[in-house]
Structure 1
Amino acid sequence: MSKKYQIQKSPFIVPTTDGKLIEEHFGMATDQNSQISIAHMIAPPYWSEPFQTPEFDEYTYIIRGKKQFIIDGEKIILESGQSIKIEKNTRIQYANPFDSACEYLSICLPAFTMEAVHREGE
């Protein structure tokens, strides 16, 4: 009889060049799940990404610190304990323009892929 659960003890550490920690617990890089990705992230102070228009819904839950979102030109700042859902095909920029790191969880439906994120300039 097969197990009806899977414990993730060794998430995939996504290589980055901007100081951001990305630990994918479930998703394409970890268990080839194309339906959902779940990642734990720590964005360093003064970090930002290019604008993007993903083909997936993204849910973000802030564990510690603050994170800035620019969504269709509107600036939103979330703090510890707050969460947001951003619908697919929405132009967004993620950033941490603050003095301390931001720790958060990100869930993408369907799963995050570089082909589906559509970062500008890449």
Structure 2
Amino acid sequence: MKKYFIQKAPFVVPTTDGKLIEEHHGLATTNNSAISIAHMIAPPGWSEPFQTPEFDEYTYIIKGKKQFIIEDETIVLEAGQSIKIEKNTRVQYSNPFDEPCEYLAICTPAFSMNAVNREE
């Protein structure tokens, strides 16, 4: 039995907002509830509703910029920077800039729609 797994076919999460989400490891791809790792590209002008996830989320910016509103503070990360946002923290993610933002998102435990707690 192999002691490794190479992901060659990430799950592309269906979206309606132009954002590319490729989950490499996590609930949708490998049924791993401990961690999820996704490659994402957020188009210019993209944003999500505020949410209060029940998981820690790490974001590493590969290209472009991404805006975070964490509680009452607005933060912008650029390529080469990363952030950890602790679970049970109210946050909004967006790309209000003129270029796409490419990044990696790692959630522990794994991302799930049941645990993200998006606001209406």
What pairs up with 1:37-56 in 2 under 5 angstroms? 37-56=36-55
**Segments of 4+ moved more than 6 angstroms:** none
> What is the CA distance between 1:61 and its match in structure 2?
0.1
- Mapped partners of 2:104, 2:51: distance in 1: 18
Q: Which secondary structure state, in structure 2, belongs to the residue aligned with residue 4 of structure 1?
A: coil
- Mapped partners of 1:116, 1:56: distance in 2: 7
- Structure 2: stretches of 5+ with no match in the other structure: none
Q: Residue by residue, what CA displacement relative to the aligned partner does 1:9-56 show, whole Å, maximum 9, x if unpaired? A: 000000000000000000000010000000000000000000000000
> What is the CA distance between 1:73 and its match in structure 2?
1.1
TM-score (norm 1): 0.98
The sequence identity of aligned pairs, in percent, is 78
What pairs up with 1:1-122 in 2 under 5 angstroms? 2-121=1-120
- Mapped partners of 1:53, 1:99: distance in 2: 27
- Mapped partners of 2:17, 2:24: distance in 1: 20
Q: Which secondary structure state, in structure 1, belongs to the residue aligned with residue 44 of structure 2?
A: coil
- Name the amino acid aligned to 2:68: F
- Mapped partners of 1:31, 1:82: distance in 2: 28
Q: Residue by residue, what CA displacement relative to the aligned partner does 1:44-94 show, whole Å, maximum 9, x if unpaired? A: 000000000000000000000000000001000000000000000000000
- Structure 1: stretches of 5+ with no match in the other structure: none
- Mapped partners of 2:72, 2:25: distance in 1: 31
- Mapped partners of 2:62, 2:114: distance in 1: 28
> CA RMSD of the aligned region, Å?
0.2
- Mapped partners of 1:98, 1:46: distance in 2: 6
